[in-house]
Amino acid sequence: MSEKVCLFCSAPQLWGVISLIPMSNHARFLTYSLRTLICAMAASSVGAASDGRVSSRKHSLEATIHKIIAHVREGRVGVMKRTFPWYHSTDELQQQVHDLANSCNGMLSNRSIALDGATINVVNIKKPNSKTLNRVFMLFGEHSRELISPESGLRFLQMLCGTASAKGSTADPGKVLDNSEFEIVLNANPRSRRKVEDGSYCLRTNVNGVDLNRNWAYEWQATAMTEQSTEPGPRPFSEPETRIVRDLVKQFKPTTFVTVHSGTRGMYMPFAYDTSHAAARNAKPMMKLLKDIDERHCQCPYGAAGKEVGYSCPGTCLDWVYENLKTPYAFAFEIFTSPDREMGLKDRWKQKVASGGIALLQNGSHLGHPHFASLFETHNSDFVHRRSESDKLNDKEDFDCFSTYNPQTQNQYEAVVNNWGSAFLEMSHDIASDLQHRT
């Protein structure tokens, strides 16, 4: 890019003005995104253009930006759906499930549960007269800013019902349903998700400011872990969302439990609350399944989600379900990070594996082991923290949060939901096969 175009794209006078304009977080994010898009277009088209042409293009683009600002100030720019129309709003997620109920051969049912101002929708899918060996409970959207989590759950439902292709999976959806029943919460934090849809892209907690994945009654602690957005609440299960999900999972009695998040890529098994305790019950089959899924779908850190001593992660649904319900298979998946961070994560993980990491995991160590320290200090995870880690998202703007937790293009979005929908199919198939062999 020429020096003049670079000066235009930094445009300190213009963007300084934008920073002072009263507007919603979403509107500011949209303006920032359009600036990036316009500058990228300018960079690709200017080439060896003369100085006069650069100046003309500069004035034209500046005029376009000023028009955008005027529209923003007048409130004519929409919310999430205007910027990323391929994402589903809370209402659209519910409508998609309703439509699937009419096109899933009688296998899908849907109900809503209301408690203290929160309403959670839960989906059940089971093939009539099937032999249920594997009862799979899947929890999406605990953290409202992780929009891609419920989207991956929706694509999985579509694959099971045959309305979306599962050609990327080694497991056939019909055969998966021969042996597995699913209870799925697509949107576990709907009240806060609506705020995210209105542009609060960094919002993680529920409307009471509580992190729902720190509010479970297993090794719960009253002190927030590292930041305000990990506030555990005044007591275990203080929040209606966690109480609803707790009761659902207790009633369902799953053989498999999965909670799905984003912000990095990784697949974890218990325990999350410290490094002194790793899962013993069914540990080897869980580790084997993670290894197999990792090879096909993630190439990312996997294993026991232990934390470094002194920096625990208490009160997670992962640990509570595994320990209190004795669920054989319990996992937490983190399914997306921005493409620039993903490449670095893959390379660092390969290095750690090649230098003895696999042997450590196979011998019962966890991802909080010092061998993996530098990896997780650089690539923050909700389930693997280091004592020296700081959550830099406190200083981020909403547009930074969106790109950290969610794909920004439709092609990226489709790749993520198809990949993980396929992974969920294969996970369910492999666990059902293991349970069948045990009977």
As a whole number of angstroms, the longest Cα–Cα distance in the chain is: 78
Distance from the Cα of residue 438 to its chain's centroid? 33
Is the preceding peptide bond at 271 cis, omega within 30 degrees of 0?
Answer: yes
In a domain, 108, yes or no: yes
What average pLDDT does the chain have? Answer: 78
Domain assignment of residue 46, given as a range: 3-78
- Please tell me whether residues 129 and 231 are part of one structural domain: yes
| 226 and 373 both lie in a single domain | yes
Q: Judge whether 85 lies within some domain.
A: no
Other Cβ atoms less than 10 A from the Cβ of 112: the count is 9
Distance, CA of 177 to CA of 186 (rounded, Å):
19
Per-residue burial over 342-364, b if 16 or more Cβ lie within 10 Å, else e, is beebeebbeebbeeebeebbeee
Cα 267 from Cα 254, distance rounded (Å): 19
114, 22: one domain: no
Last residue of a domain, one of 78, 112, 143: 78
Residue 432, amino acid: A
pLDDT single digits (tens) 365-408: 555 555 545 545 554 555 554 444 434 444 456 768 899 999 99
pLDDT in tens, 222-277: 765 555 557 899 999 999 999 999 999 999 999 999 999 998 888 988 876 555 56
Q: Based on the structure, what is the number of domains in the chain?
A: 2
What does pTM read for this prediction? 0.75
Instruction: Give the model's pLDDT for residue 339.
Output: 83
